[in-house]
Amino acid sequence: MKKALIYASVASMIQQFNMKNVQLLQEMGYQVDVACNMENGSTISSDAIEKLRRELKEKDVEVYHIPIPRSVSKISDIWHSYKTTKELFKRNGYEIIHCHSPIGGLICRLAYRFTKKSKKGKMIYTAHGFHFFKGAPLRNWLLYYPIEKMCARFTDELVTINQEDYELAKKKMKARNISYVPGVGIDTGRFRDVEVDIKSKRDGMDIPTDALVLLSVGELNKNKNHEIVIKALAEVKEEKIHYVIVGKGVLHDYLKQLADSLGVSKQIHLLGYRADIPEMYKAADVCVFPSVREGLGLAAIEGMASGLPLIVSDNRGTRDYARHLDNAMVCKSDSVEDFVQAIRCLADKRNLRSSMGEKNAFIAEKYDISHIMPAMKEIYE
């Protein structure tokens, strides 16, 4: 049987971005293996990782743990993962290898490039947002740009998920082929059609039914920029506006302390990992996506599919779908005042929230899995 490998840095990238790819490859007649760091670095809980293991096993997918680090500075860990990956390639003859993330993509492509095999498979790399982009720090260009440019030379298919990366790749990268696929795809119906008892859901979070609920979904790290919304909420000074953050990460305690110091702790709800994301969106009024950098922004697209208006930072990912005062309030990522004005505007204008939400539900259809999977099938073929 033909064999394919899905290779990513961490388990959460398999769960969030690749389960449909696994299914598609199996439908195409491939035996599918998965390789990633199954122990550290994920944005999902350990229970969710174990659930993922069981689900993959039920699908007859072989899982290989490779301790890929999340930092490019961990040279010894990268070297160990490189050698482990080479051994995997020596044992298994893959017709398709689909890798993800900057470090995972680097290790996978280098390991395959320097594994002696009589027959080479098709190397596919999905760039979930280059670390170098317009306005990125110089160090990102000095470090990540040469890496991606080098690895592109032995990439058969370079997949980009936003227009800025696509245009840059077409001009600067020497991959055999370069494609634009708008994200990994979501089941818009799962977010559009879900039913939820809003009062009960809000009661469970100790939020009044008549409150204005802002919701962010994402890892608690510096890039996700949740702190700017907390600071803005403190400036807005409206107790009936609550900010719910779903996700886990290293900044949990910092964000809690920040909310305490600004006197808004009763309005900030750090919920950690949740399995009921569609219901959470339906219980909210506004989707807030304040990231400094994003390849596209899956959480924002899920919010749109749920029929919510957006408050977003202006970055190369959100520029693909967010239009200021049309379907979103677009803010500078470092401007507390921009977020203050955005929150006040949507808090005061129910009709604007409604019209934005209707537009977003329509826009989200572009990112539905039904459009993405045919594009991926063509790439795999």
DSSP E strand boundaries for 114-156: 122-127
Residue 261 and residue 149 share a domain = no
What is the pLDDT at residue 32? 97
Residue 155 and residue 298 share a domain = no
Residue 195 and residue 145 share a domain = no
Residue 223 and residue 178 share a domain = no
Q: Residue 188: which of 80, 278, 120 has the closest Cα? A: 278
**HSE-up of residue 306 (Cα within 13 Å, Cβ side):** 27
Residue 180 and residue 42 share a domain = yes
Rounded to whole angstroms, the Cα distance separating 105 from 82 reads: 11
What is the pLDDT at residue 26? 97
Under-50 pLDDT residues of the chain: none
Residues with Cβ within 8 Å of 367's Cβ and at least 6 positions away in sequence, in order, are 182, 183, 185, 186, 188, 301, 305
Which domain, by its residues, includes 294? 188-367
Residue 167 and residue 18 share a domain = yes
Residue 155 and residue 192 share a domain = no
Residue 195 and residue 168 share a domain = no
Tell how far CA 2 is from the center of its chain.
Answer: 29
- The pLDDT tens digits for 205-215 are 999 999 999 99
Residues with Cβ within 8 Å of 128's Cβ and at least 6 positions away in sequence, in order, are 17, 100, 101, 161, 295, 296
Residue 134 and residue 11 share a domain = yes
This prediction has a pTM of 0.89
Number of folded domains in the chain?
2
Rounded to whole angstroms, the Cα distance separating 157 from 21 reads: 15
Residue 66 and residue 87 share a domain = yes
Here the CATH number for the domain that contains residue 349 is 3.40.50.2000
- The pLDDT tens digits for 19-57 are 999 999 999 999 999 999 998 877 777 888 899 999 999
What is the pLDDT at residue 135? 85
361 close to 192: Cβ distance less than 8 angstroms: yes
Residue 233 and residue 181 share a domain = no
Strand, helix or coil for residue 340: helix
Strand, helix or coil for residue 315: coil
Residue 238 and residue 179 share a domain = no
Cross-strand partners of 100 = 126
What is the pLDDT at residue 42? 76
Rounded to whole angstroms, the Cα distance separating 182 from 184 reads: 7
Cross-strand partners of 31 = 3
What is the pLDDT at residue 41? 76
Distances (CA, A) of 127 to 157, 258, 259, 359: 11, 33, 35, 28
What is the pLDDT at residue 71? 80
Distances (CA, A) of 205 to 75, 219, 227, 239, 309: 43, 19, 20, 15, 21
What is the pLDDT at residue 70? 80
DSSP 207: -
219 close to 249: Cβ distance less than 8 angstroms: yes
Q: Which two tokens stand for residue 182?
A: 């708008």
Within 10 A of 192 (CB to CB), how many other CB atoms are there? Answer: 18
